[in-house]
A and B are shown apart, each in its own frame.
Chain A
Amino acid sequence: MRHGEPDSISGELDEPPVSAWSRARRDVAVVLWPSFLAAAVMTMFFFAIFDPVDIGEGTALAALVANHNAGYALGFFFFWAFTTLSSALSLYLVRTESQLGRTDVGGPRP
């Protein structure tokens, strides 16, 4: 490690080394990422049991899932869309929870 002379080691921080993410950015991250993980696991379990080509057979989806890879990919994004919706709703409910009406902050409920 290269640093200045030992005598000059001092307590100066020339800039904050790390910045915080904005709330908007955090919101996007905490919605997309857990839903991505859940969708990935869901895709694995679902397609271990069901073959996308079998599912598509005889339905309007047949052309879309004619090959397996398309079926898996569409399945994954389908799941991700709904897990994202669920995450986003949960976040929305937590964010819009009434703070003013809270009586449990400073002590036991009256």
Chain B
Amino acid sequence: MNANRELPAGGPTEPPEEPVSFYAKHEKIHPREVNGRFDRLRRVAVFVLLGLFYVVPWLKWDGRQAVLFDLPARKFYILGLVLWPQDFIFLTWILVLLGLSLFFFTALAGRLWCGFACPQTVWTEVFVWLEHAVEGDRARRIKLDRAPWTPGKVARKAAKQALWIGFALWTGLSFVGYFVPMPLLTQDILTRSLGGWALFWTLFYGAATYVNAGYMREQVCKYMCPYARFQSAMFDRDTLIITYDAKRGEPRGARARGVDYKAKGLGECIDCTLCVQVCPTGIDIRKGLQYECIACAVCIDACDGVMDKVGYPRGLIRYTTQNALDGRPSRALRPRTLVYATLLTIIFAVGFSALLMRKTVALDVIRDRNALYQETARGEIENVYNLKILNKDQQAHTYRLAVEGIDGARIDAPHTTWRVDGGEVFSVPLRVAVPGGIVKGGHDIRFVLTDADGPAARVIEKARFIAP
């Protein structure tokens, strides 16, 4: 045992001089606002992504909601596509594609997702804007928080909460709008009859947005996000990262304006700490790449602004690769990105062609369990089946049914062709009759459903025929 090495010098009973607290005091975060190229880019991303989120539930397609996950009917509508539970593989496919894309873009350009597209980021951004609109910039917010509770402060805080809660509720409602048709939802709200699960999920999603974007913010990225922890598995020396050019910046230090810093032995970092002040996760990018960095690039914007002011070239903090920093060439095309790109292409192509070739009709056969068989007056053996024809297409189709597998077998039903509306499940109880004496015991038969309209769409479903 080398216990002595791990214990403080004063001996085992004496507490260390500054005890490490696991219960750090929670202080409110007041990130400083920044303007710059990347901040503008994020604004665009926020408007596009959140715009889509709030607008899409209102869009129509062929007289129905364009994107609707109709859970009660167990059907998903995505533009011209209708997915049934049987098509669940395609949802998995979409998830796999999204996951691989995340890997691909991370390998290429770091945590683009975190800085510009993650819901946590975009909603936080909006909540920060609302806060800024009501309470002013960082200095004013700090002052306001320290000030006593005057009526003015109460009014400002109340206004902020009203904006936040209103926005959160609207968000929750839009979320539910993906599952409950929007017209129905708005009608329920207007008549104040919104209730049950729709109300519950509106409040649930709204509350989650409020807490996540209003209060937890980038702490979610630091403590709760798994992606942040396994980013190193996707990064390499050719990945675009936000980094501080230590060669150029060090040794850092304050200086008076116009002083020849090189003569004083200083680098170009004036140590203004703005990059630290603006960082929403509170790291010092000058210490190198850290997992807390969500690549929001506000430090680049802040530093560029300072460099402009002091008359140094921009880019002391910039998007670059480790190789470029070390003076080596960076490659976008490399085994890692090529493998991700190839996988993406293959999986996309396979899934997409499967989607195009997917049959628009499905047939379900359930044998009636009440009776094994019946003998008719004509000497035939009959079995009863319940058939379900699913027309997964959006248009009506005419289907023709035939039975195969036993010579002389025929379908004993008033019709063998049916017209099924788009998106409908059509149930047909029917009997299959086989002349007596041809088969004994159990025998396999096949129901063949042919699409009379479509180009040779055919489904075959096996069933069991039982004779004495």
Within 8 A of B (CB), among A2-33: 2-3, 6-7, 9-26, 29-30, 33
Encode A41-58 as 1/0 by CB contact (under 8 A) with B.
000110011010000000
Q: Is the Cβ of B2 less than 8 Å from the Cβ of A13?
A: no
Partner of A6, one of B1, B34, B309: B309
- A67 in the interface (beta carbon within 8 A): yes
Given contacts A1-B305, A19-B29, contact A48 B272 (CB under 8 A): no
CA A105 – CA B5 in complex, angstroms?
11
Contact of A69 with B223 in the complex, beta carbons under 8 Å: no
Q: Is the CB of B282 within 8 A of A106?
A: no
Nearest CB in chain B: distance from A24 CB, A: 7
B5 and A10: CB pair below 8 A? no
- Is B230 part of the contact surface with A, judged by Cβ < 8 Å? no
Residue in A13, A25, A69, A110 whose CB lies within 8 Å of B277: A13
Whole-angstrom distance between the Cβ of A14 and the nearest chain B Cβ: 8
The docked-state distance in angstroms from the alpha carbon of A29 to that of B224 is 6
- Select from chain A the residue with minimum beta-carbon distance to B200: A73
Q: Is the CB of B270 within 8 A of A18?
A: no
For residue A110, which residues in chain B have a CB less than 8 angstroms away from its CB? 1
Q: Across the interface, which residues of B come within 8 angstroms of A34, CB to CB?
A: 224, 226
Please classify the interface of chain A as helix (H, G, I), strand (E, B), loop, or mixed, using the class held by over half of its residues: loop
B378 located at the interface, meaning its Cβ lies under 8 Å from any Cβ of chain A in the complex: no
Given that A17-B31, A30-B223, A48-B85 are contacting pairs, would A107 and B272 also be in contact in the complex, using a CB cutoff of 8 Å? Answer: no
Number of interface residues of A (CB under 8 A): 43
Whether A103 is near chain B, meaning CB under 8 Å from some CB there, is yes
Cross-interface CB contact of A12 among B71, B198, B273, cutoff 8 Å: B273
Query: Which A residue's beta carbon lies closest to that of B222?
Result: A21
- CB closest residue in chain B, given A44: B91
B312-340 toward A: CB 8 Å interface, digit per residue (1/0)? 00000000000000000000000000000
Q: B346: which A residues are within 8 A, CB to CB?
A: none
| In the complex, B185 has a CB within 8 A of chain A | no
Kindly list chain B residues whose C-beta atoms are within 8 Å of the C-beta of A21: 24, 26, 219, 222-223
Nearest neighbor of B24 in chain A, beta-carbon distance: A20
Q: Which residues of B contact A22 (CB under 8 A)?
A: 22-24, 26
* A86-110 Cβ-contact flags toward B at 8 Å (1 or 0): 0000000000000000010111001
Asked if residues A17 and B277 are in contact (CB atoms below 8 Å), the reply is yes
When C-beta atoms are compared, the residue in chain A nearest to B86 turns out to be A48
Q: Which residues of B contact A (CB under 8 A)?
A: 1-2, 5-6, 22-36, 71-72, 74, 85, 88, 91, 137, 142, 196-198, 200-201, 216, 218-220, 222-224, 226, 254, 256-257, 270-274, 276-277, 279-282, 301-302, 305-306, 309-310
A-B contact pairs, 13 of them (CB 8 A): A3-B274, A6-B310, A10-B254, A10-B271, A10-B272, A11-B254, A11-B272, A16-B282, A18-B279, A20-B24, A21-B24, A29-B219, A51-B85
7 A-B pairs with least C-beta separation: A18-B282, A19-B27, A48-B88, A9-B272, A68-B72, A23-B22, A20-B24
